[in-house]
C-alpha cells in the first residue's frame, strides 16, 4: 500500500504526462500553421491524443479526491490536491481549444484558401510564443521553480501586445476586398483562440504559485481592482 508521499508523486507523474500529451496537440497546431494548410493525418493523431487527455483527466481527479479522503493531508498538501483538480480542468479546456483550432484552419483552407499565407505569417509566430510559455510552465512544475512562473507572467504581456497588433492586421486585410471578410473573420477567431490558450496558461501559473507558496495571485488581482 502506498504512503502519502508515494501517492502524491504518482499524481505528479500523471499530471506531467498529461502536460506532455497536451503539448503534442500544441505541436499539431504549430505544424499546420507553419505549413499554412490543414493536414488530415495530424488531425487524426490529435484525436488519439485527445482520448489520452480525457483518460488522464478522469484518473488525476479521482486520485486527488481519493487521496484527500484517505490521508486527510495538512493545509499545504491539501491546497496542492485541490489546485491540481482545478488545473486538470484547465488543461481539458486547453485541449478542447487546440482541437477546435484545427477545425478553424480547415475552414480557412476551404473557404478562403487565398488567405492561408497569414496562418504562417501572422498567427504562427504568436502561437509559437504561447507554446514556449506552456513549456516554461511544464519546466516550472517539474522543478518547483517560482522564478520561472513570475517570468511567464512578464512574458505574457508581450503576447497581449502581439494579439492586439494582429487584430489590426486582420482588419486591414478584410478592408482590402469583400472576398477577405469571411476568411479574415476566421483568422481573427483563430488568433483569439490562441489568446485564450495564453490566458489558461496564466491560470495554471497562478495556481502553481498558490501551490508552492500559498500566494493567491487571482485574489490579489481582484482586491487591487476594488
User: What DSSP state is assigned to residue 36?
Assistant: T
Which pLDDT does position 217 carry in this prediction?
Answer: 59
d(CA 17, CA 80): 17
Which of 133, 187, 183, 182 lies closest to 160 in space, CA to CA?
133
Instruction: Give per-residue pLDDT as tens, 24-64.
Output: 999 999 999 999 999 999 999 999 999 999 999 999 999 99
Residue 126 exposed, middle or buried by CB count within 10 Å (0-12, 13-18, 19+): buried
Which pLDDT does position 223 carry in this prediction?
Answer: 42
List phi, psi (to 5°) of 19: -60, -40
* Total number of domains constituting the chain: 1
Q: Which residues of 163-190 are buried (b: 16+ CB within 10 A; e: fewer)?
A: beebeebbeebbeeeeebeebbebbbeb
Residue 112 lies in domain:
4-224
Instruction: Give per-residue pLDDT as tens, 74-126.
Output: 888 999 999 999 999 999 999 999 999 999 999 999 999 999 999 999 999 99
CATH number of 114's domain: 1.20.58.220
d(CA 41, CA 30): 14
Which pLDDT does position 221 carry in this prediction?
Answer: 52
Q: Is 74 helix (H, G, I), strand (E, B) or coil?
A: coil
Which pLDDT does position 218 carry in this prediction?
Answer: 55
- Label residue 215 by pLDDT band (50, 70, 90): low
In the chain, what percentage of residues exceed pLDDT 90?
Answer: 90
d(CA 134, CA 23): 8
Task: Please tell me the pTM assigned to this model.
Answer: 0.92
Amino acid at each position: 500500500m502506498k504512503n502519502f508521499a508515494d501517492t502524491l508523486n504518482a499524481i505528479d507523474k500523471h499530471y506531467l504526462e498529461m502536460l506532455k500529451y497536451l503539448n503534442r496537440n500544441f505541436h499539431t497546431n504549430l505544424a499546420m500553421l507553419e505549413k499554412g494548410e490543414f493536414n488530415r493525418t495530424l488531425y487524426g493523431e490529435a484525436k488519439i491524443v485527445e482520448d489520452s487527455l480525457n483518460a488522464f483527466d478522469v484518473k488525476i481527479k479521482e486520485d486527488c479526491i481519493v487521496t484527500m479522503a484517505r490521508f486527510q493531508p495538512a493545509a499545504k498538501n491539501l491546497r496542492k490536491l485541490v489546485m491540481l483538480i482545478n488545473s486538470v480542468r484547465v488543461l481539458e479546456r486547453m485541449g478542447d481549444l487546440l482541437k477546435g483550432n484545427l477545425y478553424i484552419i480547415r475552414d480557412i483552407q476551404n473557404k478562403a484558401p487565398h488567405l492561408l499565407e497569414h496562418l504562417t505569417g501572422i498567427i504562427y509566430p504568436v502561437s509559437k510564443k504561447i507554446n514556449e510559455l506552456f513549456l516554461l510552465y511544464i519546466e516550472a512544475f517539474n522543478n518547483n521553480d517560482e522564478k520561472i512562473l513570475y517570468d511567464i507572467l512578464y512574458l505574457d504581456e508581450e503576447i497581449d501586445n502581439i494579439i492586439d497588433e494582429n487584430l489590426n492586421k486582420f482588419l486591414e486585410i478584410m478592408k482590402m476586398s469583400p472576398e477577405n471578410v469571411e476568411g479574415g473573420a476566421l483568422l481573427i477567431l483563430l488568433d483569439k483562440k490562441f489568446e485564450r490558450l495564453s490566458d489558461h496558461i496564466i491560470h495554471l501559473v497562478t495556481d502553481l504559485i498558490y501551490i508552492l507558496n500559498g500566494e493567491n495571485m487571482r485574489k490579489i488581482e481582484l482586491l487591487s481592482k476594488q
